[in-house]
Amino acid sequence: MFEKVLIANRGEVALRIHRACREMGIKTVAVHSEADANAMHVRLADEAVCIGPARATDSYLNKSAIISAATITGVDAIHPGYGFLSEDADFAEMVEEHGIAFIGPKPEQIRMMGDKLKARAFAKECGLPVIEGSEVLNSVDEAKAEAEKIGYPVIIKAKAGGGGKGMKIAYNEQDIGTAYMMARAEAKASFATDDVYMEKYLRHPRHIEIQILADSYGNVVHLGERDCSIQRQNQKIIEETPSPALNELQRKEICNLARDAAAKIGYVSAGTMEFLFEDGKFYFLEMNTRLQVEHPITEAVSGVDIVREQLRIADGAKLGYSQDDIRLQGCAIECRINAEDPETFVPNAGKVTEWHAPGGLGVRVDSEIYSGYKIPPFYDSMIAKLIVSGRTRNGVLMRLHRALEEFVIDGVKTTIPLHQKIMMQPEYIDGIYDIHWLEDNIRNFK
């Protein structure tokens, strides 16, 4: 097994990776910006290296600085976490060129899945259902012509997109010009390319994703599905497993399709196949070639440590189990806690004056926050994840109510009150919601 791993990330995911490494007897190296010098993962790591100023472009996205830190500290491998460089194929290649293992899939797999049109083509080849769409759009006129063929409403998406960026909806011909230009501008700013394409826009879909694990010997398993339909501006807020929208036949169908598709391309490491689900039909959305923020709920129902498996697979180990060995039991829900105003969603960085994480059976909190910690204003506003699990969904909802009441974060505004309101809504309690439900109903929450 690896002796030393550099964690090329920050926040709760860096701490999550550190913990997995320590449990496996692996030493860790934390890299950090000047703004993160007092972060918990930096305090706990065996070694720490400052890689630049606060801005992510000067630190966590600085490939040469991270490679230099890895070389100086003599690590065997680099774990990229999620976000930042986790789906950067060029970075993965740089890591391997320096004789260091990249804890993730092959660079060519990252590159293929990062191109949404190539991913769509792959999905078709593998027999996955794909929503009607276009190739790259080169003008407003092309966009209008494609929309007429597909039928309104349509959504224009960044070819290199992800995280809900570079996506604009057009409900009619009058919307097309603005949607096209805005999507291109946002794509250019976020992904350094303004290539966009078009898909049919589904009005009331669920967001269903399948967790995959695959080793270098052709062994591939799925760990069930996650329902990530509670979203705001295409950003996930609450995830749960299993999905209350699927029956057993639908669940088996989509999970097996995703597993078989991953096997067909020789995928290696942890990955997630994402789908939209509407009127009993699935449509391939994308594949994320990295660890997902919401992976803990899958760990809760499967008993599989996904980060541990990433490390083992990257070191050349076999999975050691087959699909028949996987037993998914109970239910789990994750709430993403952001340092934001719960009504306006304006980020609210500052000093945490008091911190008390909930506990008890079936309650897990992933966070590196502590009393006195100063949340920097330079990065994503998510500061904690509350994961609650149990035998039944109703039992988990009751436990989640209690855990949210017990959660104390003072000194900054957080989205805990929003989660408490969501838990009280009859539609959520009954599992009747889609990806637009939150934005359509949030103003009526009491």
Q: Give the catalytic positions in this structure.
A: 290
Tokens of 32: 């950090």
Query: Is 446 exposed, middle or buried (CB count within 10 Å of its CB: 0-12, 13-18, 19+)?
Result: exposed
The CA distance from 268 to 416, in Å, is 36
Mention every residue, 6+ apart, whose C-beta is less than 8 A from residue 153: 169, 170, 171, 172, 200, 201, 203
The CA distance from 231 to 210, in Å, is 18
Where does residue 434 fall: left (phi above 0), alpha (psi -120 to 50 degrees), or beta otherwise?
beta
Closest CA to 36 of 318, 413, 355, 375: 375
Closest CA to 9 of 43, 44, 36, 46: 36
Residue owning tokens 């007429």 = 148
Residue 270 parent element (H or E): strand 269-278
Tokens of 407: 């959660």
Amino acid occupying residue 226: R
Residues in the chain: 446
User: CA torsion angle for 170, 176, 177, 183 (degrees, to 10)?
Assistant: 50
